[in-house]
Amino acid sequence: MHVRRHRLGMHAATILALSALATGCGRMVAIKYEATNPWKGQGAVTVVPFRYEAAEDHRVSPREVETNRAANTELYLSQEIGAFFTEAFRRELAHSGYRIEESSPRTVSGAITRFFVDWLEDERFFELHAVYTVGSVAENGFAWECSSIQRGPNALAQDSVLIRRGTADCMQRFIRAAQDAHVL
């Protein structure tokens, strides 16, 4: 009986969220992330899920992109932003040649401190700020911050393009910086 109530509660929450989106309060974006970085590496890495600070601070929901408060609509990813970012990062590392393992002594974790989309009359832009931390049993660790701003024409389809480009930009620059510092 308890499981049935839980499922009904989950279905009700899903229906409520979808109805809010359908009434013009928000828009859902699905992003298919493809790793593209040119850097090559090797070895095992554990990727700890990235934290989405705006959701942790209860400014937005875990799937909600930060937007201008004056905007008449909200923008949501089809998955939680921390999960999207973590999976995209795992793909970038695997594309480079790293093995993603659950218990490697070398870990990468971090936080998304800004994940923001805004649209003006003639353009859209996406702003990303992320903090990466590489830890190792043998080393003190390495921290690196990234900011990326991507701009494009003011069209609904641009949101996913700009988010994908900004995410790839920060991840590729982090991988290069971590390799240059000999921690990745």
Beta bridge partners of 20: none
Model pLDDT for residues 5-55, shown as the tens digit of each residue: 444 444 444 433 443 433 346 789 999 999 999 999 999 999 999 999 999
What's the pLDDT at 109?
A: 95
Measured distance CA(75)–CA(28) in Å, rounded: 6
| Window from 19-23, 57-61, 96-100, 176-180 with minimum mean pLDDT | 19-23
Bridge pairing between strands 123-135 and 142-153: antiparallel
Number of Cβ within a 10 Å radius of residue 128: 24
Measured distance CA(19)–CA(171) in Å, rounded: 34
H/E stretch holding 137: none
What's the pLDDT at 136?
A: 63
What is the rounded average pLDDT of the residues 78-91?
Answer: 98
Residues 84, 77 contacting (CB under 8 angstroms): yes
